[in-house]
C-alpha cells in the first residue's frame, strides 16, 4: 500500500487537474474511487486464485489457470478492470448526487481519464520513435509492424470497432443486462431460449458436406486462434457485490449469467448457467474488449505472442534454432508437444500414468484433439526445416536459423489460409469483391482484428462441427484399436495422443471424412449445446448460448446494422427474412422468438443466412470475413508477398508447399489428397506422398560473405 500511495503522490504532482475547466469531479474523489476499485478488484482476483489452489479443486476451476494469457496479458487485464471499475464508481457516485443518470464522458476530461489509466497501471502509449528503422523479422508481439502506428495489430490491444458499440447504458452494460428492456418493441429473448427454439431444430440428422473434409473445419479453428483471443475475466467473484459467479444468477461484473427459461427441460432445476464477461481493454471510456494475441497471421500458435512465452517454447540449449519438444514421450519416434510446467487441469485416461496439458504458442491447444494435432504438426515442421537450414547455412547460428524458419512457417500459414481456405469459405465471387489481388503493403490499413469478426463472423464454423471425431487406420477405415470418439470425449484430453496412437489416426480422420453441412433443421449438434466442456464452469454448457451472450457482452450491434455496413438491404419482414435464410420455417421461428429482425443477434443472423454460391457462409459473413482478411493482408508489413520479405524464387518455392506436404513430412500418413480441405474417397482420390510437391530450401542457401 505504501507503494501505491507513493505512486499516487507522484501522479498528482505531474497530472494536476485543478486548472482543467472541463473537469467536474474533484481529484480527491478520483483518488478515493481508485483506491476503492483497487481494493475490490485485488480482493476478487486474489480470492479467485486462492480458490483454485486447493488440492481437490475441480477441473472447472483449474481450467482458468490453463487458459490464462502471458504474465503481461494478466497484468494489463487487472489494470483494465481497475480502470473501468474506477470509472463506474465515479459515474455511480456522481449520478446519485445529481439524481440523474450521467455518462462518464460528461464527468471526466480526457486528461482525467488518462490520469486514472496511469493510476490503474495501464500501459503507456507506444511512440513510433521507439520502433527500429531496420528489422528483418517481425516482433513476437506484432508491435512496430506498422511504424507509424506501432500498436496496430499487436498483442494486448483493443479489438477494432467497424461500427459503434451498442450498450444499454451507452458505455458498458450489455444488451439483456436490464430486465424488461425492449428492443424494436419486443423483449430481448434469453440466449438459451434462442438456442433451444432455433439452433437445435427439429431433427438430429447430420448432413455430410460433399465438397469439403473435416480438415476445413479444424483449420478454421486453428487459424482463428492465430489471430484472435479475447481473455475473459479471471475473477470468479463479482468485484463490487462479492457474489460467486459460479453460483449467482445476478448480473454483477464480471458475472453475466445465462438465464434459463422455465420450460427448459435440461436445466436440472437450475435458474442459470455461469458466464464471465470478457476483460475490458484499457484507456477507452466506452467498454472495449482486448485481443491478447497479435492480429497478424504469423503462426503465433507455434511461437507465442510474448517474449517470455516464446522463450519457454524454444530449445535454447542447441545451435539449430529448434523448438522444445516432449522429453518423456514420442509418437513412434516423432516429437510431441512439451507438457506445461505445473500440474494441469487436463483430463486423465485410465491407469496411473499422468499426462499433463500440452504447452504451445496458444493456451487453447488442449481444447480439442484436432487442435493439439495441428499444433504438434507445425512444431515438427519448424524443427524439420530448422535442421535443414542448419545444414545449408551452418554459419547462420541458432538465432538466425530460428527466425528464418519462423518466417517460413508464418508464410505457410498465410498461404494455406488465403489461397486454400478462405475462397472455399466465402466463395470466389466474394473473395474477388472483398479481397482481390495483392497490391502491396499499405501502412494506412489497420490490421487489428475487429470485434464483430472475432465474436461473430468467424464463429460461423460452430454450425459445421461434427459430433464425431473419426480415427482411421492406414486403409482409412475405422481404427481397430482406437475407434472414433464422440466430440465431448476429445475435450482437454492430450492423454489420447500420448496413449492412443498419436497423430496419425486423427489426421486420417480429418482428411478422410467429410465436414458437416449446415442444416436448417439441425444447426448445432447436442455435443455442443448439451455436452460442451468449458472447464471454468462446473457443468456442461451450450456453445450457441455462449456465442450469443458473448456478442451481447461485447456490445455488438444487431444483424441489420451489419447488413447496412456491408451494403446489403435491411431485413424488416417475415417474408424478407425467409428469402435471406431460405426457409419459411426458420424465419417464423426467428420472428416468434425476437419479434423483429432488428433485434436479432448478428451471430445468429449470420449463421442462418443461406450460403452464397460456392461458399459455406451467407452474404453477410462472406462480407465481414472478406473485409477482415483483406486488412490482415494489406496491413501486414511482413506479408509473404510483400517485396523484400522473400526473394522472387523463394516465393515460388513457398507456393509449391501445402498442408498435405506438411502432413507427409511430419507424420506416418503416407497417402494424402492434393487438397486436404476437399472431400475425397480413399484410395482413388489419394496420392502417395512421393507425388506431392515439396519445398526446396536451396533458395535459402547463402554464402557467409553474402549475409
Q: Residue 210 is inside which H or E element, if any?
A: strand 207-213
Contact 167, 180 (CB under 8 A): no
- Rounded distance, CA 670 to CA 657, Å? 16
- Rounded distance, CA 216 to CA 461, Å? 9
Question: Directed axis angle between helix 398-415 and helix 369-392, to 10°?
Answer: 130
Query: Residue 181 corresponds to which cell in the numbers above?
Result: 428492456
Which ranges in 513-645 belong to alpha helices (H)? 526-529, 543-553, 559-565, 574-581, 584-594, 602-608, 619-634
- Rounded distance, CA 303 to CA 406, Å? 8
The rounded radius of gyration (Å) of the Cα atoms in the chain is: 25
Q: Residue 49 is inside which H or E element, if any?
A: helix 27-51
Query: Residue 496 corresponds to which cell in the numbers above?
Result: 489420447
Q: Residue 117 is inside which H or E element, if any?
A: helix 110-120
- Rounded distance, CA 503 to CA 8, Å? 54
**Catalytic entry in 50, 75, 225, 554:** 225
Which ranges in 416-542 belong to alpha helices (H)? 422-426, 428-434, 451-455, 495-499, 504-512, 526-529
Helix (H, G, I), strand (E, B) or coil at 621: helix
Q: Residue 649 is inside which H or E element, if any?
A: helix 648-656
Backbone angles phi, psi at 14, to 5 degrees: -95, -10
Query: Residue 146 corresponds to which cell in the numbers above?
Result: 506498422
Facing residues of 672 across strands? 687
Report how far Cα 487 is from the mean position of its chain's Cα atoms: 20
Q: Residue 378 is inside which H or E element, if any?
A: helix 369-392
- Rounded distance, CA 398 to CA 382, Å? 13
462 is annotated as contributing to ligand binding: yes
Helix (H, G, I), strand (E, B) or coil at 481: coil
- Rounded distance, CA 292 to CA 290, Å? 6
Residue pointed to by grid coordinates 424488461: 180
Residue pointed to by grid coordinates 482476483: 45
Is 554 among the catalytic positions? no
- Residue 409 to residues 15, 298, 640: CA-CA distances in angstroms? 46, 8, 10
Question: Counting Cβ atoms within 10 Å, is residue 437 exposed (0-12), middle (13-18) or buried (19+)?
Answer: exposed
Query: Residue 590 corresponds to which cell in the numbers above?
Result: 426467428
Q: In this structure, how many other beta carbons lie within 10 angstroms of the beta carbon of residue 520? A: 17
Q: What helix, strand, coil percent values describe the chain, rounded to 5? A: 45, 10, 45
- Rounded distance, CA 282 to CA 288, Å? 8
Helix (H, G, I), strand (E, B) or coil at 234: coil
CA-wise closest residue to 365 among 379, 375, 355 = 375
Helix (H, G, I), strand (E, B) or coil at 27: helix
CA-wise closest residue to 208 among 470, 501, 450 = 470
Catalogue the active-site residues.
225
Binding site listing for heme b: 462
Binding site listing: 462
Amino acid at each position: 500500500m505504501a507503494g501505491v500511495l507513493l505512486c499516487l503522490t507522484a501522479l498528482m504532482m505531474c497530472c494536476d487537474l485543478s486548472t482543467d475547466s472541463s473537469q467536474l469531479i474533484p481529484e480527491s474523489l478520483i483518488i478515493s474511487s481508485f483506491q476503492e476499485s483497487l481494493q475490490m478488484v485485488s480482493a476478487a482476483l486474489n480470492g479467485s486464485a486462492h480458490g483454485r489452489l486447493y488440492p481437490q479443486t475441480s477441473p472447472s476451476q483449474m481450467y482458468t489457470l490453463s487458459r490464462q494469457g502471458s504474465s503481461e496479458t494478466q497484468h494489463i487485464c487487472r489494470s483494465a478492470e481497475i480502470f473501468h471499475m474506477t470509472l463506474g464508481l465515479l459515474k455511480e457516485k456522481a449520478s446519485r448526487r445529481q439524481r440523474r443518470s450521467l455518462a462518464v464522458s460528461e464527468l471526466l476530461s480526457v486528461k482525467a481519464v488518462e490520469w486514472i489509466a496511469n493510476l490503474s497501471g495501464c500501459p503507456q502509449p507506444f511512440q513510433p520513435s521507439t520502433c527500429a528503422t531496420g528489422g528483418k523479422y517481425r516482433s513476437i508481439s506484432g508491435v512496430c509492424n506498422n511504424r507509424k502506428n506501432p500498436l496496430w495489430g499487436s498483442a494486448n490491444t483493443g479489438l477494432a470497432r467497424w461500427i459503434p458499440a451498442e450498450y444499454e447504458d451507452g458505455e458498458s452494460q450489455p444488451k439483456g443486462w436490464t430486465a424488461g428492456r425492449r428492443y424494436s418493441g419486443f423483449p430481448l429473448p434469453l440466449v438459451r431460449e434462442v438456442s433451444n427454439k432455433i439452433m437445435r431444430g427439429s431433427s438430429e440428422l447430420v448432413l455430410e458436406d460433399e465438397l469439403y473434409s473435416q480438415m476445413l473445419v479444424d483449420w478454421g479453428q486453428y487459424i482463428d486462434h492465430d489471430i484472435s483471443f479475447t481473455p475473459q475475466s479471471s475473477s470468479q467473484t463479482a468485484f463490487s457485490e462479492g457474489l460467486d459467479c459460479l453460483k449467482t444468477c445476478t448480473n454483477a461484473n464480471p458475472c453475466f449469467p445465462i438465464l434459463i427459461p422455465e420450460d427448459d427441460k435440461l436445466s436440472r432445476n437450475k435458474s442459470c448457467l455461469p458466464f464471465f464477461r470478457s476483460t475490458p481493454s484499457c484507456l477507452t471510456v466506452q467498454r472495449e474488449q482486448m485481443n491478447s494475441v497479435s492480429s497478424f497471421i504469423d503462426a503465433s500458435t507455434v511461437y507465442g505472442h510474448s517474449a517470455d512465452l516464446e522463450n519457454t517454447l524454444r530449445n535454447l540449449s542447441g545451435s539449430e534454432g529448434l523448438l522444445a519438444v516432449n522429453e518423456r514421450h514420442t509418437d513412434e519416434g516423432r516429437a510431441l508437444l512439451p507438457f506445461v510446467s505445473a500440474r494441469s487441469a487436463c483430463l486423465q485416461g485410465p491407469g496411473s500414468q499422468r499426462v499433463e496439458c500440452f504447452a504451445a504458442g496458444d493456451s487453447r491447444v488442449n481444447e480439442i484433439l484436432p487442435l493439439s494435432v495441428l499444433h504438434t504438426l507445425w512444431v515438427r515442421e519448424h524443427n524439420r526445416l530448422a535442421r535443414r537450414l542448419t545444414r545449408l547455412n551452418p554459419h547462420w547460428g541458432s538465432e538466425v536459423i530460428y527466425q528464418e524458419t519462423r518466417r517460413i512457417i508464418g508464410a505457410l500459414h498465410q498461404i494455406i489460409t488465403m489461397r486454400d481456405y478462405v475462397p472455399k469459405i466465402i466463395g470466389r465471387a466474394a473473395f474477388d469483391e472483398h479481397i482481390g489481388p495483392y497490391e502491396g503493403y499499405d501502412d494506412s490499413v489497420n490490421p487489428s482484428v475487429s470485434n464483430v469478426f472475432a465474436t461473430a463472423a468467424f464463429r460461423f464454423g460452430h454450425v459445421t462441427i461434427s459430433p464425431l471425431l473419426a480415427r482411421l487406420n492406414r486403409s482409412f477405415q475405422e481404427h481397430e484399436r482406437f475407434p472414433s470418439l464422440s466430440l465431448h470425449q476429445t475435450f482437454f484430453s492430450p492423454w489420447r495422443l500420448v496413449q492412443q496412437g498419436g497423430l496419425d489416426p486423427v489426421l486420417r480422420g480429418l482428411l478422410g471424412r467429410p465436414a458437416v453441412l449446415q442444416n436448417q433443421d439441425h444447426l448445432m449438434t447436442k455435443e455442443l449445446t448439451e455436452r460442451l466442456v468449458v472447464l471454468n464452469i462446473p457443468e456442461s454448457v451450450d456453445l450457441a448460448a455462449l456465442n450469443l451472450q458473448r456478442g451481447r457482452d461485447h456490445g455488438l450491434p444487431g444483424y441489420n446494422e451489419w447488413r447496412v455496413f456491408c451494403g446489403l438491404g435491411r431485413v424488416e419482414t417475415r417474408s424478407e427474412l425467409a428469402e435471406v435464410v431460405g426457409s419459411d420455417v426458420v424465419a417464423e421461428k426467428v420472428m416468434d422468438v425476437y419479434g423483429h429482425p432488428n433485434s436479432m443477434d448478428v451471430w445468429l443472423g449470420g449463421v442462418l443466412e443461406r450460403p452464397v454460391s460456392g461458399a459455406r457462409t451467407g452474404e453477410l459473413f462472406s462480407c465481414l470475413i472478406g473485409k477482415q482478411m483483406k486488412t490482415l493482408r494489406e496491413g501486414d508489413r511482413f506479408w509473404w508477398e510483400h517485396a523484400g520479405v522473400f526473394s522472387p524464387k523463394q516465393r515460388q518455392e513457398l507456393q509449391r508447399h501445402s498442408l498435405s506436404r506438411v502432413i507427409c513430412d511430419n507424420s506416418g500418413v503416407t497417402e494424402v489428397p492434393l487438397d486436404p480441405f476437399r472431400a475425397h474417397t480413399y484410395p482413388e482420390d489419394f496420392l502417395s506422398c512421393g507425388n506431392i510437391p515439396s519445398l526446396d530450401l536451396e533458395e535459402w542457401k547463402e554464402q557467409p560473405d553474402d549475409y
